[in-house]
Structure 1
């Protein structure tokens, strides 16, 4: 369920949120405020409006109900004349939020269409608009658009009109001065805002409902299928391009070791974040943020294959969510990437000296990719328990990557946000090399399975199959075991 603020942003109203049910309307045009109040009346929402302050007495309604309230026959016109701030009711219902955000950022428009489910949504920009900034913004937000060669100020969206609502919400996070920076800067700043939001939602082991709902809403636009299993794990899946590449499991856990202290704030000292009181919760909200960023990036990436997302519950009290995951979800998984490790450069390939997570060559692939993109500090190492153990027990080649936090489970917990974003970059680089990744996995399946190994820093040991046996469990064998 969207909040009132989200519903307003996605439709194009520019209000200042004072509280979840109270909004200051002084920065919005009179005509838009009048249309907003009229739409609330149509939706049978109780509110008061006094001295430019809107107070809503009802809980948020569904977005379907809200869209029905703001829509009417004949809504939307073909042109927005001049540089005057547009009126919401003059814009097509699904693109009004995007238009208002573009104009807020100084990227002025003159015409638009949300496609009406018959053609691609498109926007015509004012002749004085800097189209390089327009395209940089859309690339930074992972939006698949096409700039017309014949009409240089026309942009078409390769998406359905419902996705325009999500785009408007993402654009609200962008600040005007960001457009003077490089594309990657904008991407990182949006990522940090998402990370901060995730760190604001409490959810200790056994009480993950709120954070799961937030992650569900953020992930849903970017996957083909999404569900919550009977134990409470959040599962999702999407096939990209032809799907002929590998099937990769991406995993982080939703729970924190304890609830967040009421009223705590996030203290920022440059790239280092901490909590004013109690734990920060970067274990594993940082991992969750990384995977949500990957989900957004994948749509415009070169990756060809299938990605399965697993956000587990109750990891902190014994990997309970992962242990109770329905086995069928793992049957076709070729490899797993977990983001739930302290530090800034660890590729964890085993649980201490007890259990290997993968063949050494799998970990070395990540090392090589990191070096190729200039992240030379990433190194294979042994680690501690995590959900990675469960995927390895299913015979899946698995690694656990650093998420940037330190001193987890204590009041001294910190998060290096630069390191956290570096994990995003590493996973992107690995998935961009999906052909080499597939070849490496194929060679591992064909190679000598009598030996597996784990890696510690400057320490490579061979473990005989008689001691540790890690092999894929086939569907047939799984059925027999049941």
Structure 2
């Protein structure tokens, strides 16, 4: 469920939030405030408005209800905006938030259309607008935007109308001075914004409801399917391009070892974050944030294959969520990448000397990719227990990557946010080389076949700690998620 502030932002209202139900409207133009109040009346929402302060007397309604209230007859019928600050009711329902944000950032628009569910959304900019900055902004937001030479001031967005609302909400986080920086700077600032949001949501083992809801909402716009299984794990899937490449499992855990101290604050000393009291919770909120960033990146990436996301519960008390994951979800997985390791350059390929997570060549692939992009500190190593153990027991080539935190489970926990973002860059680089990754995984499967022994007519069993799929499983497609 969206908050009132999210509902307002996604429609393009520029208000100052004093509390979840109280907003200062003095910086919004009179016509937009009047339209906002009329829309609340249409939605039968009780409120008071006095001296420029809007106070709402009830919890937020669903976005479906809100869209119905603001989608007045004739809205957006004139696509020309003129040069003055646009009025919300003059803009298409699904485009209004983006247009208001672009103009807030000094990127002047003159016309727009949300596609009306039939064509592609498009935006026309003023001839004086710096289109290089426009495209840099869209790339930083992982928006599938295109600029044609024949229309140098028109941007076409290859996304459905619902995604436009999410784009507007993400655009609100961007500060004007960020546009003077490189594209990657904007991406990193947005990443840190999400990281701080997740570090503000407590959720110890067995009490992951709030963090799971927050991650669900952030992940849903970027995946094809998403669900919560019977045990509480959050599962999602995204098919990229043709989907003919490898199927990769991305995993982090939702729970922290204990609840966050009430009223604690995040202490920032440059790139190093810590908690004013108690644990920081970067184990594994850092990993969760890395995976959410990957989900945003996939639409505009060159990765060809399928990504499966698993956000597990109760990892800190014995890998319980992973152990209870329904096996069908793993049947077609070729390899797994877990982000739940301390430090800044570990590629964990085994649990001590007890259990290998993968063929060493899988870990070495990550080492080579890291060197290729200038991240020379990443090396294969042994590590401790994590959900990686469960995926390896299913015969999945798996590694656990550093997420940048240190001294986890203690009051001295800290997070190197630069190292955490470096993990994003490494995984992006690995998936960008999906063809080489797929070839390497095929070679490893050929080696595994030589180690198999038949126990029954249609059944293959575990041999020397290698788990292989039963023959019948190879003929069954991954079960559809409910």
Q: Deviations over 1:149-200 (max 9, x none)?
A: 2121111110111110000001001000000000100100000001100111
CA separation in 1, counterparts of 2:124 and 2:229?
44
Contact 2:331 2:473 in 1 (8 A): no
* Residues 1:161 and 2:161 aligned together: yes
TM-superposed CA distance for 1:477, in Å, is 7.6
The answer for the alignment partner of 2:300 in structure 1 is: 300
The answer for the alignment partner of 1:395 in structure 2 is: 395
TM-score for the superposition, normalised by structure 2: 0.95
The answer for the alignment partner of 1:16 in structure 2 is: 16
CA separation in 1, counterparts of 2:120 and 2:376?
43
Contact 1:331 1:474 in 2 (8 A): no
The answer for the alignment partner of 1:87 in structure 2 is: 87
TM-superposed CA distance for 1:47, in Å, is 1.0
The answer for the alignment partner of 2:208 in structure 1 is: 208
- Alignment CA distance shift 1:327-1:106 (3 Å): same
> What secondary structure is seen at the aligned counterpart in 1 of 2:59?
coil
C-alpha RMSD of the superposition = 1.7
* Residues 1:473 and 2:433 aligned together: no
The answer for the alignment partner of 2:330 in structure 1 is: 330
TM-superposed CA distance for 1:375, in Å, is 0.3
TM-superposed CA distance for 1:472, in Å, is 2.2
The answer for the alignment partner of 2:455 in structure 1 is: none
The answer for the alignment partner of 2:132 in structure 1 is: 132
The answer for the alignment partner of 2:456 in structure 1 is: none
CA separation in 2, counterparts of 1:103 and 1:148?
21
TM-superposed CA distance for 1:448, in Å, is 5.8
- Alignment CA distance shift 1:448-1:233 (3 Å): closer
CA separation in 1, counterparts of 2:184 and 2:365?
25
Matches within 5 A, 1:49-448: 49-76=49-76, 77-82=78-83, 84-447=84-447
Q: Deviations over 1:429-458 (max 9, x none)?
A: 00000000001101111126778xxxxxxx
Q: Deviations over 1:115-167 (max 9, x none)?
A: 10111110110111100000000011111111122121111110111110000
CA separation in 2, counterparts of 1:273 and 1:47?
40
CA separation in 2, counterparts of 1:248 and 1:174?
31
Contact 2:349 2:358 in 1 (8 A): yes
Which structure 1 segments of 5+ residues have no match? Answer: 452-465
The answer for the alignment partner of 1:457 in structure 2 is: none
- Alignment CA distance shift 1:15-1:219 (3 Å): same
CA separation in 2, counterparts of 1:475 and 1:87?
62
- Alignment CA distance shift 1:330-1:448 (3 Å): closer
Q: Deviations over 1:37-78 (max 9, x none)?
A: 111111111111111111111101000000001111100121
CA separation in 2, counterparts of 1:477 and 1:73?
53
- Alignment CA distance shift 1:128-1:347 (3 Å): same
Contact 1:331 1:475 in 2 (8 A): no
> What secondary structure is seen at the aligned counterpart in 2 of 1:197?
helix
Q: Deviations over 1:6-27 (max 9, x none)?
A: 0000000001111111111111
> What secondary structure is seen at the aligned counterpart in 2 of 1:86?
coil
CA separation in 2, counterparts of 1:472 and 1:185?
43
CA separation in 2, counterparts of 1:440 and 1:469?
21
CA separation in 1, counterparts of 2:296 and 2:222?
6
The answer for the alignment partner of 1:39 in structure 2 is: 39
TM-superposed CA distance for 1:471, in Å, is 2.8
Of 304-313 and 15-24, more deviation after overlay is shown by 15-24
4+ residue runs of structure 1 moved beyond 3 angstroms?
A: 448-451, 475-479
Contact 1:283 1:405 in 2 (8 A): yes
Contact 2:101 2:172 in 1 (8 A): yes
**Number of residue-to-residue matches in the alignment:** 466
- Alignment CA distance shift 1:347-1:78 (3 Å): same
> What secondary structure is seen at the aligned counterpart in 2 of 1:232?
coil
TM-score for the superposition, normalised by structure 1: 0.95
Of 48-57 and 100-109, more deviation after overlay is shown by 48-57
TM-superposed CA distance for 1:371, in Å, is 0.4
TM-superposed CA distance for 1:468, in Å, is 4.5
TM-superposed CA distance for 1:248, in Å, is 0.4
TM-superposed CA distance for 1:263, in Å, is 1.0
- Alignment CA distance shift 1:475-1:188 (3 Å): farther
- Alignment CA distance shift 1:477-1:63 (3 Å): closer
